Amino acid sequence: QKTVEKMASAQPVSEKRSIVAAAAKPPLPTSISFLTGGLGGIMGWLVVHPFNTCAIRMNLASSSGVANKLSFLPFAAKIVKEEGFLSLYNGLPAGIVRQVFYATSRLGLFEVMRDFLAKYRENDIFSRLAVGVVSGGMAAVISCPAEVSLVRMSNDMALAADKRRNYTSVVNAAVRIAREEGIATFWRGCMPFVNRAALVGACQVGTYDQFRIEFKKLGVTAELSNVFAASMASGLLYSLITMPFETAKNRMAFQRPDPVTKLLPYKSTIQTILSVAKADGALSLWSGFMPYYLRCGGHTVVMFISVEWLRGIYFSTLVKK
């Protein structure tokens, strides 16, 4: 106990909590780390999926001028009026499958890599940033097939009837994409997705803890309120930074070959971003930002609260003392 107290007194305030917490309960098994990360991601996605649908629809509609005329709420109301409320949940199965792979691997890999790196150097903001980049990128590569299926299913109803792909389920979408367009199609928008995931990992890891400290200085000391405020602030930062990559990912994942040349219009992340900015204006890269932010910030809040709740259940009911 004295050793723990000495270690805590020698560390900054932000590090004392982790040392005391580590001493108060046994280490979390790797399997539980992955499992709770995935379940937390799924629980968060169930809440924010409608925002994601609106974000994708507004983003992809920007080239036709629809997103420039309607803000988030009128745009969402238009979807509900024309297609029904449940249309906001188009692609939900694909979104859940995406979280099974993305959230599980991202949070699980981050903690495994962070703990491994801690054996050789002290954990600081730079090591967390590095681990966040690597784990986020790896998780994106793993979950690309589900991501492409999600984008396709979310926007399919927005197309003219003769251009719809009419996917009936996430399995149907995945099978048809592989059969009709080739397996490589799943990774067509992989690089912008990987780039975005790496940036998200870096922004969240590097800023979340700092935001919690700053909000406590401002008097937001209640645990739930502090987590909520820090998550939304962190979500705002990485939403602003990653939205252009989200736009590029959506355009690349949903593109069709030119009917004359048979070539795809978008070939790389930077080329897509520059092409969209040139054709539709630089601000079009942030088209659909409000629902995108609600998705990112909302998912971050619900996910982290859910993860901590699930881990609390594990320690209180399943760990034999």
- Give me the sign of the Cα torsion angle 172, 174, 177, 178: negative
Task: pLDDT tens for the chain, 321 residues: list them.
Answer: 444 444 444 444 444 444 344 445 678 899 999 999 999 999 999 999 998 888 878 877 765 545 456 778 888 898 899 999 988 998 888 789 888 988 898 888 988 998 888 888 877 778 878 888 999 999 989 888 888 887 787 667 767 777 778 887 778 888 898 998 888 888 876 887 888 788 888 887 567 777 888 899 999 888 788 878 888 888 888 888 888 988 888 788 777 787 888 888 888 888 999 998 998 889 889 988 888 888 888 888 898 889 888 988 998 887 665
- What is the model's pLDDT at position 218? 93
| Exposure on the CB side of residue 45, measured as CA atoms within 13 A | 24
Q: Which residues contact 159 (CB under 8 A, 6 or more apart)?
A: none
CA distance 242 to 235: 10
CA distance 196 to 184: 20
Q: How is residue 90 annotated by DSSP? A: T
H-helix or E-strand spanning residue 88: none
H-helix or E-strand spanning residue 193: helix 190-217
One DSSP character per residue, 236-272 reads: HHHHHHHHHHHHHHHHHHH----TTT---S--SHHHH
Q: How is residue 169 annotated by DSSP? A: S
- What is the model's pLDDT at position 62? 63
Chain-centre distance for alpha carbon 44: 10
Q: Which residues contact 298 (CB under 8 A, 6 or more apart)?
A: 44, 47, 48, 51, 235
Phi, psi for 168 (deg, rounded to 5): -95, -20
**Among 1.20.1560.10, 1.50.40.10, 3.90.180.10, 1.10.40.50, what is the CATH number of 29-303?**
1.50.40.10
One DSSP character per residue, 8-67 reads: HHTS-HHHHHHHHHHHHSPPPPHHHHHHHHHHHHHHHHHHHHHHHHHHHHHHHHGGGTHH
Phi, psi for 162 (deg, rounded to 5): -75, -10
**How far from 272 is each of 57, 66, 179, 285, CA to CA, in Å?**
18, 20, 26, 10
CA distance 138 to 125: 20
